[in-house]
Structure 1
Amino acid sequence: MLGHPEGEVVLTKACKTRDIIQMIPTLASCSFDEIVNAAGPDQAQWLQLYVNSDRQISEKFVRHAESRGMKGLFITADAPQLELTLLKFPAGHREKDMRQKYSQEAPDEISRNSTEVVRDQGAARAISNFIDPSLCWDDIAWFKSITNMPILIKGIQTAQDAVLAAKYGCKGIVLSNHGGRQLDFAPSAIEILAEVMDALKRENLDEGFEVYIDGGIRRGSDIFKAIALGAKGVGIGRPFLVSYIYA
Protein backbone atom coordinates (compact mmCIF):
# COMPACT_ATOMS: atom_id res chain seq x y z
CA MET A 1 0.00 0.00 0.00
CA LEU A 2 3.03 2.27 0.27
CA GLY A 3 3.19 2.76 -3.49
CA HIS A 4 -0.28 1.93 -4.79
CA PRO A 5 -3.78 1.41 -3.29
CA GLU A 6 -3.78 -2.20 -4.51
CA GLY A 7 -0.39 -2.93 -3.00
CA GLU A 8 1.36 -6.06 -4.29
CA VAL A 9 -1.76 -7.12 -6.15
CA VAL A 10 -1.06 -4.53 -8.84
CA LEU A 11 2.38 -6.10 -9.31
CA THR A 12 0.75 -9.50 -9.69
CA LYS A 13 -1.45 -8.16 -12.46
CA ALA A 14 1.50 -6.48 -14.17
CA CYS A 15 3.61 -9.64 -13.98
CA LYS A 16 0.74 -11.60 -15.49
CA THR A 17 0.55 -9.34 -18.54
CA ARG A 18 4.34 -9.40 -19.07
CA ASP A 19 5.00 -13.05 -18.16
CA ILE A 20 7.32 -12.12 -15.28
CA ILE A 21 7.80 -14.33 -12.23
CA GLN A 22 6.65 -12.70 -9.00
CA MET A 23 8.23 -13.41 -5.64
CA ILE A 24 5.66 -12.96 -2.87
CA PRO A 25 7.13 -11.57 0.36
CA THR A 26 6.44 -12.85 3.85
CA LEU A 27 5.58 -9.31 4.94
CA ALA A 28 3.41 -7.52 2.43
CA SER A 29 0.68 -4.91 2.52
CA CYS A 30 -1.76 -7.45 1.06
CA SER A 31 -2.42 -10.93 2.38
CA PHE A 32 -0.74 -13.88 0.71
CA ASP A 33 -4.06 -15.18 -0.61
CA GLU A 34 -5.07 -11.81 -2.00
CA ILE A 35 -1.88 -11.77 -4.05
CA VAL A 36 -2.27 -15.37 -5.25
CA ASN A 37 -5.96 -14.86 -6.09
CA ALA A 38 -5.01 -12.06 -8.47
CA ALA A 39 -2.72 -14.33 -10.49
CA GLY A 40 -3.56 -16.00 -13.77
CA PRO A 41 -4.02 -19.80 -14.01
CA ASP A 42 -0.50 -20.48 -15.30
CA GLN A 43 1.29 -17.55 -13.69
CA ALA A 44 4.56 -18.44 -11.95
CA GLN A 45 4.96 -17.19 -8.39
CA TRP A 46 7.62 -17.87 -5.77
CA LEU A 47 7.56 -17.46 -1.99
CA GLN A 48 10.13 -15.43 -0.07
CA LEU A 49 10.28 -16.67 3.51
CA TYR A 50 11.47 -15.05 6.70
CA VAL A 51 11.83 -18.07 8.96
CA ASN A 52 9.75 -17.72 12.11
CA SER A 53 11.19 -18.61 15.50
CA ASP A 54 8.08 -20.74 15.90
CA ARG A 55 8.74 -23.37 13.27
CA GLN A 56 5.13 -24.55 13.30
CA ILE A 57 4.12 -21.16 11.94
CA SER A 58 6.69 -21.38 9.15
CA GLU A 59 5.63 -24.95 8.36
CA LYS A 60 1.97 -23.95 8.14
CA PHE A 61 2.81 -21.05 5.85
CA VAL A 62 5.09 -23.12 3.59
CA ARG A 63 2.54 -25.93 3.24
CA HIS A 64 -0.22 -23.43 2.46
CA ALA A 65 1.97 -21.69 -0.12
CA GLU A 66 2.71 -25.01 -1.82
CA SER A 67 -0.98 -25.89 -1.88
CA ARG A 68 -1.64 -22.55 -3.61
CA GLY A 69 0.80 -23.36 -6.40
CA MET A 70 4.05 -21.64 -5.43
CA LYS A 71 6.87 -22.86 -7.68
CA GLY A 72 9.82 -22.16 -5.39
CA LEU A 73 10.73 -21.46 -1.76
CA PHE A 74 13.33 -18.72 -1.27
CA ILE A 75 14.59 -18.67 2.31
CA THR A 76 16.03 -15.30 3.30
CA ALA A 77 19.31 -15.73 5.15
CA ASP A 78 20.85 -12.26 5.07
CA ALA A 79 18.78 -10.63 7.80
CA PRO A 80 19.08 -12.87 10.89
CA GLN A 81 19.45 -9.92 13.27
CA LEU A 82 18.00 -6.45 12.90
CA GLU A 83 17.74 -3.34 15.03
CA LEU A 84 20.43 -4.47 17.50
CA THR A 85 23.01 -2.01 18.71
CA LEU A 86 26.24 -2.10 16.77
CA LEU A 87 28.14 -2.67 20.02
CA LYS A 88 26.31 -5.96 20.59
CA PHE A 89 26.19 -7.33 17.06
CA PRO A 90 27.09 -5.94 13.62
CA ALA A 91 23.52 -6.17 12.41
CA GLY A 92 21.49 -3.85 10.26
CA HIS A 93 21.21 -0.44 11.88
CA ARG A 94 18.71 1.06 9.48
CA GLU A 95 18.64 4.72 10.39
CA LYS A 96 16.38 5.73 7.51
CA ASP A 97 13.91 3.00 8.45
CA MET A 98 13.92 4.19 12.05
CA ARG A 99 13.28 7.80 10.99
CA GLN A 100 10.69 7.19 8.29
CA LYS A 101 8.27 4.98 10.18
CA TYR A 102 4.96 4.14 8.62
CA SER A 103 1.65 3.16 10.14
CA GLN A 104 -0.43 0.55 8.38
CA GLU A 105 -3.18 -1.88 9.29
CA ALA A 106 -2.11 -5.49 8.88
CA PRO A 107 -3.75 -7.65 6.22
CA ASP A 108 -5.23 -11.03 7.06
CA GLU A 109 -2.28 -12.91 8.55
CA ILE A 110 -3.95 -16.29 9.14
CA SER A 111 -2.80 -18.16 6.06
CA ARG A 112 0.45 -16.31 5.73
CA ASN A 113 2.26 -15.77 8.99
CA SER A 114 -0.02 -16.00 12.04
CA THR A 115 2.33 -13.62 13.84
CA GLU A 116 1.46 -10.26 15.34
CA VAL A 117 3.98 -7.73 14.08
CA VAL A 118 4.49 -4.12 15.08
CA ARG A 119 3.74 -2.28 11.85
CA ASP A 120 4.23 1.33 12.93
CA GLN A 121 7.91 1.33 13.89
CA GLY A 122 9.61 0.55 10.59
CA ALA A 123 10.06 -2.62 8.59
CA ALA A 124 13.21 -3.79 10.35
CA ARG A 125 11.65 -3.80 13.78
CA ALA A 126 8.56 -5.55 12.42
CA ILE A 127 10.74 -8.36 11.11
CA SER A 128 12.72 -8.49 14.36
CA ASN A 129 9.57 -9.46 16.24
CA PHE A 130 9.53 -12.98 14.84
CA ILE A 131 12.55 -13.80 12.67
CA ASP A 132 14.64 -16.79 13.80
CA PRO A 133 18.29 -15.80 14.46
CA SER A 134 19.32 -19.46 14.88
CA LEU A 135 18.71 -20.37 11.23
CA CYS A 136 21.59 -22.52 9.94
CA TRP A 137 22.57 -24.92 7.17
CA ASP A 138 21.24 -27.96 9.05
CA ASP A 139 17.74 -26.49 8.78
CA ILE A 140 17.70 -27.16 5.04
CA ALA A 141 16.97 -30.84 5.75
CA TRP A 142 13.91 -29.84 7.79
CA PHE A 143 12.57 -27.61 5.04
CA LYS A 144 13.06 -30.43 2.52
CA SER A 145 10.98 -32.66 4.79
CA ILE A 146 7.96 -30.32 4.75
CA THR A 147 7.80 -29.28 1.10
CA ASN A 148 8.41 -30.51 -2.41
CA MET A 149 9.07 -26.99 -3.65
CA PRO A 150 12.64 -26.38 -4.83
CA ILE A 151 14.53 -24.60 -2.06
CA LEU A 152 16.81 -21.65 -2.77
CA ILE A 153 18.72 -19.44 -0.34
CA LYS A 154 18.30 -15.68 -0.73
CA GLY A 155 21.07 -13.45 0.55
CA ILE A 156 24.26 -15.32 -0.32
CA GLN A 157 27.32 -13.06 -0.25
CA THR A 158 30.32 -15.35 -0.72
CA ALA A 159 31.45 -18.07 -3.11
CA GLN A 160 31.97 -20.41 -0.15
CA ASP A 161 28.34 -20.11 0.91
CA ALA A 162 27.18 -20.66 -2.67
CA VAL A 163 29.07 -23.96 -2.71
CA LEU A 164 27.61 -24.92 0.68
CA ALA A 165 24.08 -24.20 -0.54
CA ALA A 166 24.59 -26.59 -3.45
CA LYS A 167 26.14 -29.26 -1.22
CA TYR A 168 23.25 -29.06 1.24
CA GLY A 169 20.82 -29.82 -1.57
CA CYS A 170 19.44 -26.41 -2.46
CA LYS A 171 18.37 -25.87 -6.05
CA GLY A 172 19.83 -22.41 -6.27
CA ILE A 173 20.67 -19.13 -4.60
CA VAL A 174 20.03 -15.42 -4.84
CA LEU A 175 23.14 -13.27 -4.50
CA SER A 176 21.95 -10.25 -2.57
CA ASN A 177 23.05 -7.66 -0.02
CA HIS A 178 19.45 -6.99 1.04
CA GLY A 179 19.35 -3.80 -1.02
CA GLY A 180 22.30 -2.41 0.90
CA ARG A 181 20.06 -1.86 3.93
CA GLN A 182 21.32 -4.64 6.19
CA LEU A 183 25.06 -3.87 6.06
CA ASP A 184 25.95 -0.80 4.05
CA PHE A 185 29.49 -2.04 3.34
CA ALA A 186 28.40 -5.37 1.83
CA PRO A 187 29.41 -5.91 -1.82
CA SER A 188 26.77 -5.74 -4.53
CA ALA A 189 25.55 -8.98 -6.09
CA ILE A 190 27.08 -8.27 -9.50
CA GLU A 191 30.51 -7.85 -7.89
CA ILE A 192 30.57 -11.39 -6.52
CA LEU A 193 28.71 -13.17 -9.33
CA ALA A 194 31.80 -14.13 -11.37
CA GLU A 195 33.68 -15.64 -8.42
CA VAL A 196 30.57 -17.52 -7.32
CA MET A 197 30.16 -19.09 -10.74
CA ASP A 198 33.86 -20.00 -10.86
CA ALA A 199 33.63 -21.67 -7.43
CA LEU A 200 30.57 -23.69 -8.41
CA LYS A 201 32.25 -24.85 -11.63
CA ARG A 202 35.42 -25.91 -9.78
CA GLU A 203 33.28 -28.12 -7.53
CA ASN A 204 31.21 -29.39 -10.49
CA LEU A 205 28.10 -27.98 -8.82
CA ASP A 206 26.97 -25.54 -11.49
CA GLU A 207 24.86 -27.94 -13.58
CA GLY A 208 21.21 -27.62 -12.62
CA PHE A 209 22.02 -25.11 -9.87
CA GLU A 210 20.39 -21.74 -10.54
CA VAL A 211 22.05 -18.49 -9.54
CA TYR A 212 20.03 -15.27 -9.41
CA ILE A 213 21.04 -11.78 -8.33
CA ASP A 214 19.08 -8.84 -7.01
CA GLY A 215 19.82 -5.23 -6.19
CA GLY A 216 21.03 -2.48 -8.50
CA ILE A 217 19.17 -3.65 -11.61
CA ARG A 218 18.05 -0.42 -13.25
CA ARG A 219 18.07 -1.05 -17.02
CA GLY A 220 18.03 -3.81 -19.58
CA SER A 221 21.80 -3.74 -20.03
CA ASP A 222 22.19 -4.65 -16.34
CA ILE A 223 20.24 -7.84 -17.00
CA PHE A 224 22.40 -8.75 -19.99
CA LYS A 225 25.56 -8.23 -17.93
CA ALA A 226 24.26 -10.52 -15.17
CA ILE A 227 23.30 -13.26 -17.62
CA ALA A 228 26.66 -12.98 -19.38
CA LEU A 229 28.40 -13.54 -16.04
CA GLY A 230 26.36 -16.68 -15.38
CA ALA A 231 23.15 -15.62 -13.67
CA LYS A 232 19.93 -17.43 -14.52
CA GLY A 233 17.90 -14.29 -13.92
CA VAL A 234 17.64 -11.10 -11.89
CA GLY A 235 15.31 -9.64 -9.31
CA ILE A 236 13.82 -6.22 -9.92
CA GLY A 237 12.37 -4.37 -6.95
CA ARG A 238 12.78 -0.61 -6.84
CA PRO A 239 12.15 0.01 -10.56
CA PHE A 240 8.76 -1.68 -10.16
CA LEU A 241 7.98 0.45 -7.11
CA VAL A 242 8.91 3.66 -8.91
CA SER A 243 6.97 2.66 -12.02
CA TYR A 244 3.66 2.24 -10.25
CA ILE A 245 4.10 5.33 -8.12
CA TYR A 246 4.58 7.52 -11.20
CA ALA A 247 2.52 5.61 -13.76
Structure 2
Amino acid sequence: MVLLATPSHPTGGIALPIEGGRWLVGLVGTGDDRPPRDPDAFDRFRRGLRDPAISEVVSTGHPVGEVALHRQTDNRRHHYERVPGWPAGLLVVGDALCAFDPIYGQGVTVAAQEALALRRTLERGLRPGDERRLLRAFARVLAVPWSVATGEDRRFPTSVGAPPTRVEAVLGWWGGELGRLAAHGDTLASDSLSRVYHLMATPLLLFRPGLVGHAVRARLRGLGPPNPRPEITSASPA
Protein backbone atom coordinates (compact mmCIF):
# COMPACT_ATOMS: atom_id res chain seq x y z
CA MET A 1 0.00 0.00 0.00
CA VAL A 2 1.48 3.33 -1.09
CA LEU A 3 0.23 6.87 -0.54
CA LEU A 4 2.32 8.99 -2.89
CA ALA A 5 3.51 12.45 -2.00
CA THR A 6 2.63 15.01 -4.67
CA PRO A 7 3.44 18.71 -5.15
CA SER A 8 -0.03 19.60 -3.85
CA HIS A 9 0.13 17.00 -1.02
CA PRO A 10 3.82 16.74 -0.09
CA THR A 11 3.43 13.98 2.51
CA GLY A 12 2.80 10.28 2.04
CA GLY A 13 3.54 6.83 3.34
CA ILE A 14 3.91 3.15 2.64
CA ALA A 15 2.87 -0.06 4.40
CA LEU A 16 4.39 -3.34 3.22
CA PRO A 17 3.88 -6.85 4.62
CA ILE A 18 7.22 -8.46 5.49
CA GLU A 19 8.38 -11.66 7.19
CA GLY A 20 7.11 -12.89 10.53
CA GLY A 21 3.57 -11.56 10.09
CA ARG A 22 4.80 -7.97 10.43
CA TRP A 23 4.38 -4.82 8.38
CA LEU A 24 6.99 -2.21 7.51
CA VAL A 25 5.47 1.27 7.75
CA GLY A 26 7.22 4.35 6.40
CA LEU A 27 6.28 8.01 6.13
CA VAL A 28 7.68 10.68 3.83
CA GLY A 29 7.56 14.45 3.71
CA THR A 30 9.32 17.36 2.02
CA GLY A 31 10.69 20.68 3.18
CA ASP A 32 9.75 21.42 6.79
CA ASP A 33 6.82 19.00 6.69
CA ARG A 34 8.74 15.82 7.51
CA PRO A 35 8.06 12.86 9.81
CA PRO A 36 9.79 13.22 13.21
CA ARG A 37 11.71 10.66 15.26
CA ASP A 38 9.60 10.96 18.43
CA PRO A 39 7.05 8.09 18.38
CA ASP A 40 4.12 10.24 19.51
CA ALA A 41 4.92 12.95 16.98
CA PHE A 42 5.42 10.27 14.33
CA ASP A 43 1.90 8.98 15.05
CA ARG A 44 0.46 12.49 14.82
CA PHE A 45 2.17 12.93 11.46
CA ARG A 46 0.72 9.61 10.29
CA ARG A 47 -2.78 10.54 11.37
CA GLY A 48 -2.44 13.83 9.49
CA LEU A 49 -2.00 12.16 6.07
CA ARG A 50 -4.68 13.04 3.53
CA ASP A 51 -5.93 9.45 3.44
CA PRO A 52 -6.38 7.20 6.52
CA ALA A 53 -5.32 3.94 4.81
CA ILE A 54 -1.83 3.84 6.40
CA SER A 55 -3.27 4.63 9.83
CA GLU A 56 -5.87 1.89 9.43
CA VAL A 57 -3.10 -0.65 8.94
CA VAL A 58 -1.16 0.63 11.94
CA SER A 59 -4.23 0.64 14.18
CA THR A 60 -4.61 -3.15 13.83
CA GLY A 61 -1.16 -3.86 15.27
CA HIS A 62 1.49 -2.48 17.62
CA PRO A 63 5.04 -1.16 17.08
CA VAL A 64 7.91 -3.62 17.48
CA GLY A 65 10.81 -1.23 16.86
CA GLU A 66 12.02 2.35 17.15
CA VAL A 67 11.36 5.06 14.58
CA ALA A 68 14.30 5.31 12.17
CA LEU A 69 14.93 8.47 10.13
CA HIS A 70 16.62 8.97 6.78
CA ARG A 71 17.29 12.60 5.95
CA GLN A 72 19.73 12.13 3.05
CA THR A 73 17.38 12.31 0.07
CA ASP A 74 19.50 14.33 -2.36
CA ASN A 75 20.22 13.07 -5.84
CA ARG A 76 24.00 13.28 -6.28
CA ARG A 77 25.94 12.23 -9.34
CA HIS A 78 29.65 12.46 -10.18
CA HIS A 79 30.68 12.38 -13.85
CA TYR A 80 34.00 10.61 -13.38
CA GLU A 81 33.74 9.31 -16.94
CA ARG A 82 34.56 12.88 -18.03
CA VAL A 83 37.70 13.23 -15.89
CA PRO A 84 40.82 13.32 -18.09
CA GLY A 85 43.75 11.09 -17.20
CA TRP A 86 41.73 8.73 -15.01
CA PRO A 87 44.21 6.54 -13.05
CA ALA A 88 44.59 2.86 -13.83
CA GLY A 89 43.20 0.44 -11.24
CA LEU A 90 40.70 2.91 -9.76
CA LEU A 91 36.94 2.45 -10.16
CA VAL A 92 33.96 4.16 -8.51
CA VAL A 93 30.64 2.33 -8.09
CA GLY A 94 27.37 2.49 -6.16
CA ASP A 95 26.49 5.56 -4.11
CA ALA A 96 30.03 6.88 -4.44
CA LEU A 97 29.28 7.34 -8.14
CA CYS A 98 25.58 8.25 -7.96
CA ALA A 99 23.24 8.43 -4.96
CA PHE A 100 19.49 8.58 -5.54
CA ASP A 101 16.59 9.81 -3.48
CA PRO A 102 15.81 6.46 -1.77
CA ILE A 103 12.04 6.87 -2.12
CA TYR A 104 12.29 5.58 -5.71
CA GLY A 105 14.00 2.33 -4.68
CA GLN A 106 16.57 2.35 -7.51
CA GLY A 107 19.97 2.49 -5.80
CA VAL A 108 20.48 -1.23 -5.16
CA THR A 109 19.30 -2.17 -8.66
CA VAL A 110 21.69 0.32 -10.25
CA ALA A 111 24.59 -0.94 -8.12
CA ALA A 112 23.77 -4.52 -9.17
CA GLN A 113 23.80 -3.52 -12.84
CA GLU A 114 27.19 -1.88 -12.35
CA ALA A 115 28.45 -5.05 -10.65
CA LEU A 116 27.30 -7.13 -13.61
CA ALA A 117 29.16 -4.84 -16.02
CA LEU A 118 32.29 -5.14 -13.86
CA ARG A 119 31.97 -8.95 -13.71
CA ARG A 120 31.73 -9.21 -17.50
CA THR A 121 34.91 -7.17 -17.81
CA LEU A 122 36.78 -9.21 -15.21
CA GLU A 123 35.71 -12.51 -16.80
CA ARG A 124 37.49 -11.63 -20.04
CA GLY A 125 40.45 -10.09 -18.21
CA LEU A 126 41.35 -6.46 -17.59
CA ARG A 127 42.87 -4.48 -20.45
CA PRO A 128 44.39 -1.01 -20.54
CA GLY A 129 41.65 1.61 -20.51
CA ASP A 130 38.98 -0.68 -19.07
CA GLU A 131 38.49 1.65 -16.11
CA ARG A 132 37.40 4.48 -18.39
CA ARG A 133 35.25 2.13 -20.49
CA LEU A 134 33.53 0.84 -17.36
CA LEU A 135 32.85 4.37 -16.11
CA ARG A 136 31.22 5.16 -19.45
CA ALA A 137 29.17 1.95 -19.18
CA PHE A 138 28.11 2.94 -15.67
CA ALA A 139 27.04 6.35 -16.99
CA ARG A 140 24.74 4.63 -19.49
CA VAL A 141 23.26 2.52 -16.67
CA LEU A 142 22.61 5.68 -14.66
CA ALA A 143 20.89 7.62 -17.44
CA VAL A 144 17.33 6.32 -16.96
CA PRO A 145 17.10 6.13 -13.16
CA TRP A 146 18.78 9.53 -12.84
CA SER A 147 16.22 11.08 -15.18
CA VAL A 148 13.36 9.43 -13.27
CA ALA A 149 14.55 10.52 -9.82
CA THR A 150 15.54 14.08 -10.70
CA GLY A 151 12.54 14.58 -12.99
CA GLU A 152 10.10 13.56 -10.27
CA ASP A 153 11.84 15.55 -7.54
CA ARG A 154 11.83 18.72 -9.64
CA ARG A 155 8.03 18.73 -9.49
CA PHE A 156 8.19 19.67 -5.80
CA PRO A 157 8.56 23.32 -4.74
CA THR A 158 11.36 22.42 -2.28
CA SER A 159 13.51 20.99 -5.08
CA VAL A 160 16.90 22.58 -5.67
CA GLY A 161 19.30 22.33 -8.57
CA ALA A 162 19.34 23.17 -12.24
CA PRO A 163 15.94 23.76 -13.88
CA PRO A 164 14.76 20.98 -16.18
CA THR A 165 15.61 21.07 -19.84
CA ARG A 166 12.77 21.21 -22.36
CA VAL A 167 13.07 17.48 -22.96
CA GLU A 168 13.03 16.75 -19.22
CA ALA A 169 10.01 19.01 -18.77
CA VAL A 170 8.10 17.16 -21.51
CA LEU A 171 9.06 13.79 -20.06
CA GLY A 172 7.96 14.94 -16.61
CA TRP A 173 4.61 16.10 -17.98
CA TRP A 174 4.07 12.82 -19.81
CA GLY A 175 4.95 10.83 -16.72
CA GLY A 176 2.34 12.82 -14.81
CA GLU A 177 -0.26 12.07 -17.47
CA LEU A 178 0.48 8.35 -17.26
CA GLY A 179 0.39 8.50 -13.46
CA ARG A 180 -3.12 9.96 -13.60
CA LEU A 181 -4.20 7.22 -15.99
CA ALA A 182 -2.78 4.57 -13.65
CA ALA A 183 -4.54 6.14 -10.65
CA HIS A 184 -7.84 5.80 -12.51
CA GLY A 185 -7.55 2.12 -13.32
CA ASP A 186 -5.53 2.08 -16.56
CA THR A 187 -3.55 -1.13 -16.15
CA LEU A 188 -1.46 -0.53 -19.27
CA ALA A 189 -0.22 2.79 -17.86
CA SER A 190 0.35 1.28 -14.42
CA ASP A 191 2.31 -1.70 -15.76
CA SER A 192 4.40 0.46 -18.11
CA LEU A 193 5.33 2.97 -15.42
CA SER A 194 6.18 0.22 -12.96
CA ARG A 195 8.42 -1.63 -15.41
CA VAL A 196 10.31 1.50 -16.46
CA TYR A 197 10.63 3.01 -12.97
CA HIS A 198 11.90 -0.31 -11.60
CA LEU A 199 14.44 -0.57 -14.45
CA MET A 200 12.84 -3.65 -15.98
CA ALA A 201 12.14 -2.09 -19.38
CA THR A 202 13.35 0.64 -21.71
CA PRO A 203 11.81 4.14 -21.33
CA LEU A 204 10.54 3.75 -24.90
CA LEU A 205 7.82 1.59 -23.36
CA LEU A 206 6.20 4.80 -22.09
CA PHE A 207 5.61 5.95 -25.66
CA ARG A 208 3.96 2.83 -27.01
CA PRO A 209 1.02 3.72 -29.27
CA GLY A 210 -1.52 2.14 -26.94
CA LEU A 211 -0.58 4.49 -24.14
CA VAL A 212 -0.82 7.54 -26.36
CA GLY A 213 -4.26 6.37 -27.45
CA HIS A 214 -5.36 5.90 -23.84
CA ALA A 215 -4.17 9.40 -22.95
CA VAL A 216 -6.03 10.97 -25.88
CA ARG A 217 -9.19 9.07 -25.01
CA ALA A 218 -8.97 10.20 -21.38
CA ARG A 219 -8.64 13.81 -22.53
CA LEU A 220 -11.75 13.48 -24.66
CA ARG A 221 -13.92 11.33 -22.38
CA GLY A 222 -12.47 11.95 -18.93
CA LEU A 223 -10.40 9.76 -16.66
CA GLY A 224 -13.26 7.86 -15.11
CA PRO A 225 -13.48 6.83 -11.44
CA PRO A 226 -10.26 6.54 -9.42
CA ASN A 227 -8.94 3.22 -8.20
CA PRO A 228 -10.88 2.01 -5.13
CA ARG A 229 -9.25 2.33 -1.75
CA PRO A 230 -7.96 -0.96 -0.31
CA GLU A 231 -10.12 -2.59 2.31
CA ILE A 232 -8.19 -2.75 5.57
CA THR A 233 -9.23 -5.65 7.78
CA SER A 234 -6.05 -6.72 9.52
CA ALA A 235 -2.36 -5.87 9.76
CA SER A 236 -1.57 -9.54 9.12
CA PRO A 237 -0.29 -10.24 5.58
CA ALA A 238 -2.47 -13.34 5.61
Same fold (TM over 0.5): no
Higher share of residues assigned helix: 2
**Larger Rg over CA atoms:** 2
Q: TM-score, normalised by structure 2?
A: 0.26
